[in-house]
């Protein structure tokens, strides 16, 4: 099988996808108190800002993998980014608790399409080259803790110096198609 000359650029986009998926779980942590004040969340309901994303993400991962198998990893990867982008924009514009939670669930659904498609693409690009696959998996794996750390840091900076709705604009940039 001939080598894809753009596979390392594709890996950068795949790692960015992993970074963004994980960052979305952590970026809102610092913004929660301000969101609570602005949107009227009760203390017991506030955890659902985080949980709406995680439940949709985890609950739809298998479906995302199956859709990737049926319709192609590139198409589902791009569709996932579009859904994540729409959810991020909606979450930043939310004016009610219900709208915020629905937008976070949409973000989770988009991420559930991105994650399995990204792994499929990674295997398609590097699966038949064990040495390169090891490097690719290491870079992909490093993107997760980097995304979690960046999410907490960026969430604090953005909430402090701009405002909480802007934490959702960090995801509003879709990478180019693979």
Mean pLDDT to the nearest integer, 41-45: 86
The confidence score (pLDDT) of residue 25 equals 82
The confidence score (pLDDT) of residue 14 equals 92
For residue 10, give both structure tokens.
């594709």
Per-domain residue ranges of the chain: 17-36+46-171
Q: Which residues contact 165 (CB under 8 A, 6 or more apart)?
A: 91, 92, 93, 94
Confidence of residue 3 (pLDDT cuts 50, 70, 90): low
157 close to 144: Cβ distance less than 8 angstroms: no
Would you identify the CATH topology of the domain 17-36+46-171?
Growth Hormone; Chain: A; (1.20.1250)
For residue 52, give both structure tokens.
């709406």
**Selection from 50, 78, 52, 51 nearest residue 64 by Cα:** 78
Residue 148 burial (10 A CB sphere; 0-12, 13-18, 19+): middle
Mean pLDDT to the nearest integer, 7-27: 89
Task: Give the separation between CA 57 and CA 55, rounded to whole angstroms.
Answer: 5
Task: Give the separation between CA 148 and CA 131, rounded to whole angstroms.
Answer: 27
Which of 23-27, 129-133, 136-140 is predicted with the least confidence, judged by mean pLDDT? 23-27
DSSP code of 72?
A: -
Q: 4 — phi, psi (to 5°)?
A: -80, 115
The predicted model scores a pTM of 0.86
């Amino acid at each position: 099988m001939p080598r894809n000359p753009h596979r390392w650029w594709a890996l950068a986009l795949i790692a960015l996808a992993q970074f963004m998926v994980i960052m979305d779980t952590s970026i809102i942590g610092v913004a929660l108190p301000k969101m609570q004040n602005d949107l009227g969340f009760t203390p017991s309901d506030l955890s659902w800002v985080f949980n709406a994303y995680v439940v949709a993400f985890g609950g739809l991962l298998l479906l995302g993998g199956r859709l990737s198998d049926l319709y192609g990893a590139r198409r589902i990867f791009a569709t996932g980014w579009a859904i994540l982008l729409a959810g991020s924009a909606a979450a930043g514009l939310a004016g009610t608790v219900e709208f915020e939670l629905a937008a976070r669930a949409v973000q989770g659904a988009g991420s559930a399409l991105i994650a399995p498609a990204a792994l499929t693409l990674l295997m398609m690009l590097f699966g038949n080259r064990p040495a390169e696959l090891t490097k690719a998996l290491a870079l992909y794996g490093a993107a997760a803790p980097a995304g979690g750390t960046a999410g907490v840091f960026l969430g604090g900076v953005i909430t402090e110096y701009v405002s909480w709705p802007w934490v959702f604009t960090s995801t509003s940039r879709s990478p180019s198609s693979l």
